[in-house]
């Protein structure tokens, strides 16, 4: 249920007042206990993945129950090295030694970033 009982008023210079049912919110007892108004988030899942070995040599393995769509690999300067459809294994044999950022993206656009190091 969406509750529209809070109101913001901005007045100059740089002053904002939050009101609840017409009263300033300095200490209103019902601000977060209003009947019929649930102030919470819908349950959601976050993207989780295990990337190993780290540090790695010739390949990276990704284990996850999250359905990723795309995988991208960036160097420390932000240059994209790899961009491809998600697979559980990434061939890294042609990469130079150093630190990289592995970016995994879900269908919904949620992004998980893992720091990985090539030995």
**pLDDT (mean) for 14-40:** 56
Give phi and psi for 23, each to the nearest 5.
-115, 145
What pLDDT score does 36 carry? 56
- CATH entry, 50-118, from 2.60.40.3080, 3.40.140.10, 1.10.599.10, 2.30.29.30: 2.60.40.3080
Torsion sign across C-alpha atoms 76, 80, 81, 83: positive
- Among candidates 2, 112, 114, which has minimal Cα distance to 51? 114
Q: Which pTM was predicted?
A: 0.63
Is the pLDDT confidence value at 109 over 80? yes
- By the 10 Å C-beta count (0-12 exposed, 13-18 middle, 19+ buried), 62 is classed as buried
What is the rounded CA–CA span in Å between residue 48 and residue 63?
9
Give the domain ranges of the chain. 1-40, 50-118
The residue ranking higher by pLDDT, 31 or 118, is: 118
What pLDDT score does 6 carry? 44
Q: Give the pLDDT confidence of 53-91 residue by residue, as tens digits.
A: 999 999 999 999 999 999 999 999 999 999 999 999 999
């Amino acid at each position: 249920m969406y509750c529209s009982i809070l109101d913001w008023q901005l007045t100059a210079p740089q002053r904002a007042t939050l009101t609840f049912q017409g009263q300033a919110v300095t200490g209103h007892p019902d601000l977060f206990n209003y009947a019929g108004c649930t102030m919470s988030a819908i349950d959601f899942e976050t993207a989780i993945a295990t990337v190993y070995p780290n540090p790695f040599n010739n390949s990276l393995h990704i284990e996850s129950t999250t359905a990723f769509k795309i995988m991208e690999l960036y160097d420390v300067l932000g240059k994209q090295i790899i961009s491809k459809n998600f697979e559980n294994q990434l061939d890294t044999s042609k990469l130079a030694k150093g630190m990289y950022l592995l970016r995994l993206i879900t269908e919904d656009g949620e992004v998980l970033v893992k720091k990985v190091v090539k030995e």
